Amino acid sequence: MASSKGKAPKTLSSDTKLAAIRTAMAADDWDTALKLASRFQRLGEQASVIRRAADFQLRPNFYRQLGYDGERVRAEGIAALKERFSVSWSQTSSRD
Tens digits of residue pLDDT in 40-63: 888 889 999 999 999 999 999 999
3-class SS of residue 7 = coil
**CA dist., res. 40 & res. 47, Å (int):** 9
Listed by start position, the domains of the chain span 16-93
**CA dist., res. 65 & res. 82, Å (int):** 28
- Phi-psi map region of 45: left, alpha, beta (phi>0 left; psi -120 to 50 alpha): alpha
Residues 22 and 52 sit within 8 Å (Cβ to Cβ): no
Tens digits of residue pLDDT in 79-96: 999 988 876 444 545 544
**pTM for this predicted structure:** 0.73
Query: Looking at residue 5, what DSSP letter applies?
Result: G
